[in-house]
Structure 1
Amino acid sequence: MKPVIGLTMHPVEGKKEINNTYINAIKKAGGTPICLPVINEENIEQVLDIVDGVVSIGGYDVNPLIFGQEPHFKLGVVIDERDKSDMLIMKRAFEREIPILGICRGEQVMNVAFGGTLYQDIDTQVENVLKHTQVSLRHEVTHTVELEPSKLQQIVGAATILTNSFHHQAIDAVADGFIINARAKDGVIEGIEHPTHPYCIGVQWHPEGLENDAPSDKLFKSFIDASTKK
């Protein structure tokens, strides 16, 4: 039986949306995707009862007030409703040892949910930063990511990969208990994971957008395998 994978959604003007590339990546790897609307304390446990894994997807900026900072002048759009829902899903799924894959914003949510902080705008807050907001299409790779010794490196089977890049926020202080598993050549953190959780991995790039890319395929396959074993 295929594992059921819950994907967080993106509120837009009263609607909830998700890019089909996330759904296609889960289906290709062998999972059954379902879309999770905005979740609250009243329904979180019921929702998590029906999923075998959770993907926290990309989207707007994380509100810096959550990690104790005032807004930088380059802060983009924030949505309080989604921040609360994503943080709640992340924390409860982690507590229940449900496999979690965080992508772009989802990786940042993973870090902030457990006490980490973010750069609100790496272009102005990080010296000698590379271009992390590519204008090329999602299937194009535009910079190098170096993988640290980690579960992610074991999954991918390489020390260096090429990725796409669509972010201006990035992890600053890493949450306690988590380790860095990937960095860009400029030192910007491109991934984290929890070494003792059954499967809790976050990546800053968008593997779902890299079709027929071996590292991305391996990442999604490992996530589905972990969700199957849950």
Structure 2
Amino acid sequence: MASNDSDAPAPPLIGITSYLEQAQTGVWDVPASFLPQVYLDAVTDVGGVAIVLPPQPVEPGVARGIVSRLDGLILSGGADVDPARYRADPHERTGAPRTDRDAFEAALLDAAIDAQLPLLGICRGAQVINVELGGTLIQHLPDIVGDDRYQAGQGVFTEIDVEVDAGSRIGELLGDDRNARAHLYHHQAIDALADGLTATSRTVDGIIESIEIDALPFGVAVQWHPEENREDRRLFAGLVSAAATYRSRRESVIPSPVPSSEHASKEQP
């Protein structure tokens, strides 16, 4: 007998936050939602479905509604977090604030933690997590390390090997060697680590490169860009696997609807 595709579990839905940028196509030159395809590929390559989430006005109830429809969430890379969110004056090299994106991602993060939604933060995403949970950022790493080794500029990623701590969630995802080839492109970094977070790797300079959210079964974030490494999808596979488990557990506690015929029969005297 031929297999019934309808019996196969639906692939997990992974929301990915995005930019709002001025974009040109044909005769149009308009603000548009923008996300590099490598993020989408990183999710679909391991069996997930990518849902792009553009910055938009959002109240906590709206954020909860978005999260309730997702099986996992990625806070993607991008522009600098507004220093006002961690009570600091802007450095001269800190980018212009994107307050719409900051507010949107903060609301999504709160809702995701409340819902215990599997979560992966990437570069800016790791910084958003730290700031929103009460931590601070180093606004310009060259002030600390003396050069641009963490962000060479011109779209060129600095590649280094990162080893994460044994016993960490990220360590479990990376396997026995606990190593990842990290593509770095960040001129900012985590400074004071927020309560409720655990740092799981640092560079030889002492810069935090990965963290975990203690309150989540799967809440990991890296300062590097794993989406740039097409040969290594382990972090995304871990997220999609956790998302599939999350969906399965959520569906197991949702009451099945009563068939209309059965409902009608119960109403008969």
Q: Please, what is the CA RMSD of the aligned residues?
A: 1.8
The one-letter code of the counterpart of 1:228 is A
The one-letter code of the counterpart of 1:5 is I
Matched, 1:133 2:173: no
Aligned match for 1:26, one of 29, 36, 43: 43
Which residue does 1:224 correspond to in 2?
A: 240
> What per-residue deviation string (whole Å, max 9, x for no partner) do you get for residues 145-200 of structure 1?
23123111121022443211111010001110110011122111111002341111
Query: Contact between 2:151 and 2:158, CA under 8 Å: does it hold in 1?
Result: no
> What per-residue deviation string (whole Å, max 9, x for no partner) do you get for residues 46-90 of structure 1?
211210000000000001110010111111232110110011111
Aligned match for 1:197, one of 216, 220, 225: 216
The one-letter code of the counterpart of 2:189 is A
Compared CA separation, residues 136 and 64, structure 1 to 2 (3 A): closer
Matched, 1:82 2:101: yes
Compared CA separation, residues 193 and 129, structure 1 to 2 (3 A): farther
Matched, 1:38 2:72: no
Q: Which moved more, 1:152-161 or 1:174-183?
A: 152-161
TM norm structure 2:
0.79
Query: Contact between 2:33 and 2:54, CA under 8 Å: does it hold in 1?
Result: yes
The one-letter code of the counterpart of 1:111 is N
Identity %: 32
Q: What is the DSSP-based 3-state SS (H/G/I as helix, E as strand, rest coil) of the residue aligned with 2:45?
A: helix
- 1:97-108 equivalence runs, <5 A: 97-108=116-127
Q: Which moved more, 1:180-189 or 1:201-210?
A: 180-189
Unaligned runs of 5+ in 1: none
Unaligned runs of 5+ in 2: 1-9, 23-30, 247-269
Superposition misfits of 4+ residues, deviation over 6 angstroms: none
TM norm structure 1:
0.92
Query: Contact between 1:144 and 1:184, CA under 8 Å: does it hold in 2?
Result: no
> What per-residue deviation string (whole Å, max 9, x for no partner) do you get for residues 10-51 of structure 1?
011332111111001000011011111224015212211210
The one-letter code of the counterpart of 1:146 is E
Which residue does 1:4 correspond to in 2?
A: 13
Q: Which moved more, 1:40-49 or 1:184-193?
A: 40-49
CA distance in 2, matches of 1:70, 1:201: 28
- Aligned pair count reads 225
Compared CA separation, residues 147 and 2, structure 1 to 2 (3 A): same
Compared CA separation, residues 141 and 76, structure 1 to 2 (3 A): closer
Query: Contact between 1:146 and 1:185, CA under 8 Å: does it hold in 2?
Result: no
The one-letter code of the counterpart of 2:21 is V
Query: Contact between 2:198 and 2:214, CA under 8 Å: does it hold in 1?
Result: yes
Aligned match for 1:16, one of 23, 33, 36: 33
Compared CA separation, residues 185 and 161, structure 1 to 2 (3 A): farther
Q: Which moved more, 1:165-174 or 1:193-202?
A: 193-202
Compared CA separation, residues 94 and 129, structure 1 to 2 (3 A): farther
Aligned-pair distance for 1:109? 0.6
The one-letter code of the counterpart of 1:12 is E
CA distance in 2, matches of 1:26, 1:218: 11
Q: What is the DSSP-based 3-state SS (H/G/I as helix, E as strand, rest coil) of the residue aligned with 2:84?
A: helix
CA distance in 2, matches of 1:134, 1:23: 25
Query: Contact between 2:39 and 2:227, CA under 8 Å: does it hold in 1?
Result: yes
CA distance in 2, matches of 1:156, 1:129: 29
